[in-house]
Structure 1
Amino acid sequence: MPHAGSPADECALRHLAMLQVCDSVFPVGAFALSNGMETFVQRDLLRSSADFEQYLKDYVEVAAYREIGQMVIAGKMAAGRDPDDAGFVNGLAELDALCVALQSAREIREGQNRMCMRMIKLVDQMEAQPLQPVDSRRGHGVDRGEASKRGGAARPRTIPHVDRYKRLVDSGTCFGMHSIVMGLYAADKATSLRDAAVTYCYSLLSALTVCAVKAVPISQYAGQVALSRAFPEIVAAVDLALTLTPDDLGVSGAYIDIAAMQHETLYSRLYMS
């Protein structure tokens, strides 16, 4: 059995950190977004479990050039880099601008930003000494000086690249994209970017499965079967994303953007996008 503080323990803790931010109960709002899938439902293009199974496979293939590619490129950019290095900061700002420009659907773009800001806030709260500690009794923050007195000596931050991104967003240099902050968090926490990207991709499809159960509708059983059958496509999409450069992003997926735009004017909606 590994003893406390062993490399095996550290690896397990890092894996758990990634699982937590990708979990369905992590409150960033991912499950309020259908990413345009509801449009396909209302257009009678997505009506059965077989339709949904094919939709998942098509979606994850496109995701390599969208969310997964963005996440992986951000993670590779941050790996082993000083978060204050000028080259990293400039590269991150350029990636953020590119990813924002590629989100042509307003609701998807705004949803990505909301999830990004919520995640930044939540992972900050999970640090030993948050930058913006929350006093749950009063419902608002306390200043850092007060927090330092309560917590004693300052403990090192474990999410330096996420912290750097937050400063860039706060200054207006960056917009803030959930896929990018996921990549930076993986660079800070995960033992393997590939494993982290597989977990993130799974979380995207899991969220769509929840949407399909309500919107198509299909049974919970059928949804999980479809999700499991998409596992090979998840791995393939991540491996493809690991080979991409920023110039490759956005080369596929126009139909998702169009569906997301049409979603904005649907007569009735279950989801925010």
Structure 2
Amino acid sequence: MPAASLLQLIWLASPALPVGGFSYSEGLEAAVEWAGVDSEARARDWLVDQLHLGLARGDLAVVAEAVRAWRADDLARIAALDAWVLATRESAEFRLQAEQMGRSFLEWLKLHHADAAACCAGLAPTYPVAFALAAARSGAGVREGCLAFAFGWAENMTAAAVKAVPLGQSAGQRMLARLAREIPAAVDDALTRTDDTRQSFSPMLAILSARHEAQYSRLFRS
């Protein structure tokens, strides 16, 4: 991979990217209170399961397809993928995250690609679709773009676990190392998904997300 493309992917995966990912726990904060996620081992296993059963089957598969669609200027395909993301958000918080992070990502992308908004043709892309646009512009391969997306997710979720469980920084690094080992297989799974096999089915996660809306004390927006 050209150095410029590699650096772009590192940038896209950075938790310092101003898109608000740090403010979401994707149900983890509720899981700490109601699902017994109260230790490093349980938080690690929770996130590994979420990676394989949720992210790989859904959003990662969307990113892979959306990168290809952006490169082909297939706006009909982009719109269909974006609609699928919105349709599979099972709580108000999950939908808010997809919309807000997508909007913020597009605003950031405009700083580096003046035509970013124009190429969306009026579409307000959700986060996975907006990320795919940036990955497509980076010149990196589809798999590499998915790896960057997954690692960015893993960093944000590990940081959420450190704050919410709570855990120490060393525990967080051990969890991130485990997730990094699991990510290549999750990406490979995502790359095999088609419209017929892509799915979003995590009922307990959806219930916890809905309960989080009324959680008495919370740090995160989801």
TM-score (norm 1): 0.76
Kept in 2: contact 1:73–1:246 (CA 8 A)? no
Partner deviation per Cα, 1:118-165 (whole Å, 9 max, x = no partner) = 1111111123xx3xxxxxxxxxxxxxxxxxxxxxxxxxx5x5xx6422
Q: Would you say 1:239 and 2:193 are equivalent positions?
A: no
Q: Would you say 1:115 and 2:115 are equivalent positions?
A: no
Give the counterpart of 1:96 among 73, 76, 82. Answer: 82
Residue 110 of structure 2 aligns with an amino acid whose one-letter code is: D
Tell me what 2:63 maps to: 71
Tell me what 2:43 maps to: 52
Kept in 2: contact 1:190–1:196 (CA 8 A)? no
Distance in 2 (CA, whole Å) between partners of 1:64 and 1:106 is 22
Distance in 1 (CA, whole Å) between partners of 2:139 and 2:94 is 26
Q: CA deviation at 1:190?
A: 3.4
Q: CA deviation at 1:203?
A: 0.8
Q: Which ranges in structure 1 are unaligned for 5 or more consecutive residues?
A: 1-7, 131-156, 170-174
Q: Would you say 1:195 and 2:195 are equivalent positions?
A: no
SS at match of 2:105: helix
Identity %: 27
Quick check: which one's helix share is greater? 2
Partner deviation per Cα, 1:88-140 (whole Å, 9 max, x = no partner) = 1212111111111001111111111111111111111123xx3xxxxxxxxxx
Residue 10 of structure 2 aligns with an amino acid whose one-letter code is: L
Q: Which ranges in structure 2 are unaligned for 5 or more consecutive residues?
A: none
Count of residues in Structure 1 that have an aligned counterpart in Structure 2: 221
Kept in 2: contact 1:18–1:190 (CA 8 A)? no
Q: CA deviation at 1:221?
A: 0.3
SS at match of 1:185: helix
TM-score (norm 2): 0.93
Residue 112 of structure 1 aligns with an amino acid whose one-letter code is: A
Larger Rg: 1
Q: Does the C-alpha gap of structure 1 residues 49 and 89 become closer, same or farther in structure 2, counting only changes over 3 Å?
A: same
SS at match of 1:168: coil
Tell me what 1:105 maps to: 91
Query: How does 1:150-189 map onto structure 2 within 5 Å?
Result: 163-165=118-120, 167-169=121-123, 175-189=124-138
SS at match of 2:90: coil
Tell me what 2:218 maps to: 269
CA RMSD of aligned residues (A): 1.7
Q: Which moved more, 1:13-22 or 1:203-212?
A: 13-22
Partner deviation per Cα, 1:28-51 (whole Å, 9 max, x = no partner) = 000000001001111151111111
Distance in 2 (CA, whole Å) between partners of 1:121 and 1:75 is 18
